[in-house]
Structure 1
């Protein structure tokens, strides 16, 4: 069956990707979530906003598209051209310096291919949960590894490409971390099915970072990487 992502303008997606196809990853992740029209969602680390576009177009959500590196003005122009200026609110956010929102404001917080750069600690999940309504959901998708590298050493064939501080961890590591938060019920911690397809689509992108990743993925050859989905609900 054709998905929303499959039916979208592929040329547009290739131009706006900043990593493995965030629209495809978001679509698989949201299939595990109770999506409802009119939800208020924070898309944290949205890049050029293709995850936000899916949330607004497919589900009728109001999305706050937050990013540090892509300017709100650039994203606003992009959303306006798609007729989504009333549905997606672009904001500039440095999560390490705090969020400018009221506690209990969001029905859902999502983050695709970004959380591992700021959330590999004991403090980020409890901090973000404050911004969810009671019963609200949090969902992230992160690039990870199938198993921890032995003795914290990167395999020789991946040493030209990876660093230990990139936040690539196995599924078991993320499950332990998120299970610590007493006000949050972990519901899914799983390897995603779209790993290979989302990466293959990214490698087709004209983005120079995508071209740089081609030899890395050739060296990886399906041996090390995982795409991990973690979802859960704030206590009622």
Structure 2
């Protein structure tokens, strides 16, 4: 994640990367299975976490995702996000704030694109190992250490930029989008998916049931889909095509958190799962948002 505090994530089970087993990755439609949960029987995780709305994500072993994730289920978010995009084989795609590069592997394998897997906190060498072990199908994924405000790319280099569970940590600055858009060709797409809210917290008081978490700075990075739409449209560099919230997104968020808490190996976690905000809220305020725009 491209963020100042990579060690905490409000409302999520924080999972840290571990060294994989030696089992080879599958090709084509086979399930990628490089990691195994020592506390779950084979198939248990897949049964619980295979959702009909995410058929592409179902091809990836949940234990592999769980062992390397840093927030909500990244492949679910990426599959939802790319459902509103126009990705074609051979495109150059920047995965900004890729974390442990799971989403970069997904993009390369599923769409045959050439991904620059950019993150500030995860070493490129570690991500390169994960990319090699998982394989990228017809695409490629090249890890790079990048700070979101210092993008070392030529003007118009990318056909698309995606960001999952990262953009809200730096993109709430209304001046940021033009910095990013410079790297995207005219007509290319910029897209992000992240935790958000159903109500604009700048206009409404924080509900009492969430007040214990309002002291966390991360809480205030959560914005409504319409807030993102207004902010992006005011930038003058993009045309917003999609800005919405995931229906029942909080349920998927909670399912993932609880599964991580139940089945993750102790050495995979850096602390207890923090699902309390989601449980307390039950979808009244917290949700998952996405925004997709085309470069003017």
Q: Which runs of 4+ in 1 moved over 6 A?
A: none
Please give the alpha-carbon distance, in whole angstroms, between the structure 2 residues aligned to 1:162 and 1:208: 24
Gaps of 5+ in 1: none
Deviation at 1:198, TM superposition (A): 4.3
Structure 2 CA distance for aligned equivalents of residues 4 and 199 of structure 1: 21
When the two structures are superposed, what TM-score results if normalisation uses the length of structure 1? 0.91
Aligned to 2:148: 95
The structure-2 alpha-carbon separation of the partners of 1:83 and 1:19, relative to structure 1 and needing over 3 Å to count, comes to same
Report which of the two has the higher share of helix.
1
Asked which structure has the greater CA Rg, the reply is 2
Consecutive unaligned residues of structure 2, counting only runs of 5 or more, are 1-51
**What are the residue-to-residue correspondences of 1:48-197 with 2, within 5 Å?**
48-84=100-136, 87-96=140-149, 98-149=150-201, 153-163=205-215, 165-166=217-218, 167-193=221-247, 195=249, 196-197=251-252
Distance 2:257 2:109 in 1: 22
Asked if structure 2 preserves the Cα contact closer than 8 Å seen for 1:148 and 1:169, the reply is yes
Worse overlay, 144-153 or 14-23: 144-153
- Structure with higher strand content: 1
Kindly state the Cα deviation for residue 31 of structure 1 after the two structures are TM-superposed: 1.1
Query: What is the CA distance between 1:184 and its match in structure 2?
Result: 1.2
Match of 1:233 in 2: 294
Q: In the aligned structure 1, how far is the partner of 2:164 from the partner of 2:182? A: 20
Q: What is the rounded CA distance, in whole Å, between the counterparts of 2:65 and 2:289 in structure 1?
A: 22
Q: Give me the CA root mean square deviation.
A: 2.1
Do 2:155 and 2:182's aligned partners in 1 also have CA atoms closer than 8 Å? yes
Are the counterparts in 1 of residues 210 and 277 from structure 2 also a CA contact under 8 Å? yes
CA distance in 1: counterparts of 2:104 and 2:60, whole angstroms: 14
Relative to the length of structure 2, the TM-score reads 0.73
User: Residue 164 of structure 1: CA displacement?
Assistant: 6.4
Q: Is the 8 A contact 2:209 2:280 kept in 1?
A: yes
Count residues with an aligned counterpart.
234
